[in-house]
Amino acid sequence: MSTELTTTTAPGDDRQGRRRGIGRGRSGDRPARKAQRRREALDTRVAGESRGAVRTVLAHVGVVIAAVLFALPLVYAFFSALKPNTEVFSMPPRLLASEVRWSNFADVFSYGPFTTYITNSFFVATAGTLVVLVVSTTAGYAFGRLRWPGRDLVFVLFLATLMVPQEVLVVPMFILMQWFGWVDSYQSLIFPFAFTAFGTFLMRQFFRGIPYELDEAARVDGAGAFRAFAQIILPLAKPAVAVLAVFTFLSFWNSYLWPLITVVDYDAHGTLPIGLASFSGQNGTRWDLQMAAAIISMIPTTILVIALQKHLVKGIATAGLGGR
């Protein structure tokens, strides 16, 4: 496994990438391959040119149908958040209930300490993302750009930890938190799952695609590895860092099982996902408020995705995740 992994994930040494710049264009246009493609393509030359317009229309229709199917549950969720609790499950289902209750969105905040949940989620997700960024970029640099004995072996071990299911670790992790005296603290929400290998993996992939001369010169000059990392490599890595930041933020924001276990005092350290569960009680569930709360909790992440949509796609492309 280890050798395969290295070949798939270590294209950085081949210097072709240099010509086109970072991380892109290494897909090669060697003459032999090109000729082969041409031969293959020859067979289908009969295809007419005039179908282009029809295709464009068809493509739009297809995408719109898919979009409607995809949006349907979301739309339904939104309208459910506007219903009185007892009509959420009314038969047959209706989009609009007997009344439109915008007040559900306000009631969410008076039902429980929802503002605290939001603030905590923000704080924990932001702090956790920062930790992940620092840890992943430095480790990714060591794996991707420095040569040291045992590097590939350690990296495979790193990757193996990606495969450990979180449910396995929850109880031992909780015992660990007790040894640290971290139960019911912000530390316990931020650190335990901030060291997963995904970020390191992603940053390593990206760093390998950067031409070696760029920082090698700096390091030999005596600028030092850290300065080479901070001043040359890191600025080039912005798109990949942005991708990692978004994915990390999302996973912290939606994390459920671990906060459920480690948070004792909901009023102080509760986060949004476990706050959502508090709408279910012994006397039934406030579905209306739960839906409204879910919609509210989607707002920040959706804005994040909309704002960074273009950069996300570019970032993934340049991070070497998409290509290889």
Partner 1 sequence: MRITTTTATATALAAVMLAACGSDDGDGGDDSSSGTSSIVWDMWAGSEEDTAFLNDTLEIVRAENPDIDVQLQTAPWNDYFTKLTTNLSAGNVACVTSMNGQRLSSYAEAFMPLTPEDLETAGLSEDDFVDGALDIMTHDGQLYGLPFDVATMLVYYNKDMFADSGAPEPQIGWSFEDFESAAQSVSTDDHKGFGIGMAEFQWMSLPIAMSGKQPVDEEGNLALTDPDFVDAATWYAGLVTEQEVAAPPPSASETGWGETEYAAGNVAMAVDGTWNAVTYLNNDTGFAAGMTNLPAGDAGSTALVLGSGYGIAADCADKEAALQVLGSLLGKDAQDAMASSGRSYPARAESQPLYFESLDDAVRDEVQAAFEAAFADVEGQRSTDDWDQVNTAIQPQLVSVYTGQAGMGDMLEQVQQQFGN
Partner 2 sequence: MPTPAMLTARPRRRRVSGLKKAETRQALGFISPALAGLALFTVIPVVVSIVMSLHNWPAFGERSFAGFDNYRNLFTQHPDFWPALRNSAVFTLLYVPINLVVALALALSLSPRIRGRGAFRVLFFIPVVTPIVANALVWKMLLQPQGLFNGVSVSLFDIQLPNFLAHPQWAMIMVVVMSVWQGMGYNMLIFSAALEQLPTSVVEAARIDGARGWRMIRSVVLPMLSPAIFFATVMTIITSLQVFAQPQLLTGGGPGNATMPLVQFIYNQGFKFQDLGLAASAAWVLFVLIIMVTAVQFKAQKRWVHYEH
Footprint of partner 1 on this chain (CB under 8 A)?
Answer: 84-87, 89-91, 110-113, 170-172, 174-176, 178, 183, 260-261, 264-267, 274, 277-286
**Is residue 312 involved in binding partner 2 (CB under 8 A)?**
yes
Q: Does residue 126 bind partner 2 (CB under 8 A)?
A: no
Nearer to partner 2, 126 or 301 (CB): 301
Q: Which is nearer to partner 2, 140 or 269 (CB)?
A: 140
Going by C-alpha positions, the residue among 80, 71, 75 that lies closest to residue 105 is 80
Residue 10 tokens read as 């270590």
**How many chain residues interact with partner 2 (CB under 8 A)?**
126
* Helix residue spans in the chain (DSSP H): 2-9, 17-20, 31-42, 51-80, 103-111, 114-145, 151-160, 166-180, 186-190, 197-208, 213-218, 225-227, 234-236, 238-254, 257-262, 266-269, 272-277, 287-318
241 near partner 2, judged by CB under 8 A = no
The backbone torsions φ and ψ at residue 284, rounded to the nearest 5 degrees and listed phi first, read 105, 180
The correct pick among 32, 50, 73, 235 for binding partner 2 (CB under 8 A) is 73
Amino acid letter for position 36: Q
In the bound state with partner 2, the residue whose beta carbon lies nearer, of 113 and 227, is 227
Q: Is 81 exposed, middle or buried (0-12, 13-18, 19+ CB in 10 A)?
A: buried
The item of partner 2, partner 1, none sharing an interface with residue 281, based on CB under 5 to 8 Å by kind, is partner 1
Question: Which x/- pattern over 261-300 shows residues binding partner 2 (rule: CB under 8 A)?
Answer: -----------xx--xx---------x--xx--xx-xx--
φ, ψ of residue 177 in degrees (nearest 5): -60, -35
Among 19, 32, 40, 283, binds partner 2 (CB under 8 A): 40
Q: Does 195 bind partner 2 (CB under 8 A)?
A: yes
142 vs 65: CA distance, rounded Å:
47
Q: Out of 56, 103, 110, 115, name the contact with partner 2 by CB under 8 A.
A: 56
**Which of 31, 70, 282, 284 is in the footprint of partner 2 by CB under 8 A?**
70
